[in-house]
Structure 1
């Protein structure tokens, strides 16, 4: 204690000023999102507070809480916040029985104002059917299925999609 201010001894840093939780949170907010704030992650933010010469007992929990509540940090974080799920292989018993479909776009306008791709993939052979479209409605999807799948390969047992409104009928 020096001049009625409590300090904590550090092995690698100079004396750390002991703060109350409220003071510590104010310091963290300034370091994290103040005029020179860089919206760093939890480990770097805690180290910056320590290097600045501050310490309080709940520092690590406060840093985690602050970063987890920061919308900008959550939006631009490179960390994945959900556990990975195991990949499963989708098996098809024979060619043209099971197709996957999806819409890709918006692309830069091509001839005929086409900016979407309608894609179908046979799960067994991995054969791909693709067509560019200006707009994709239920009617266009039905025409695509009839012309590119049914007329060429027969009626599939199953078509898998993401249930977009174009695939509802």
Structure 2
């Protein structure tokens, strides 16, 4: 299924914290992680070109509030899509991604080992092997859409592995 000149959507993984048995002292707190994986189909272009292709892809048109991808949508998470450009992203490291996601997960208190293992496999392992990582920082109020208030936290991580020719769009959020 070809979605753009540079990226081909391969599928989504979803980690719903409520699917795990939290022990006493832990609470899934309506948190989840959505991972969309793409294959880089052309010779790996510059990161900026890959980010442009991702932003233009219909899979990016997901408001992450339950409606799923809207091919004609104008929202991406809490933001208007037309307010997001490749320049909106900031470079990151695997260590900074691991620290960010761990801090966010630890808000749940005592976290089941199975959940930590799933996060390690789906988020941390790709970050450790990525050749490039960028994150979307909180954008200014003019970029926030009319549903933007629904997410208490919205963390977006893009890992690019030019050797493995994969790009992963990871959103860790709550509602």
Per the TM superposition, whether the score is higher than 0.5 is no
- For Structure 1 versus Structure 2, the TM-score category normalised by the shorter chain is under 0.3
Q: What TM-score, normalized by structure 1, do the two folds share?
A: 0.23
Structure with the bigger RCO (C-alpha within 8 Å, sep 6+) is 2
Q: What TM-score, normalized by structure 2, do the two folds share?
A: 0.22
Structure with the higher fraction of residues in strand conformation: 2
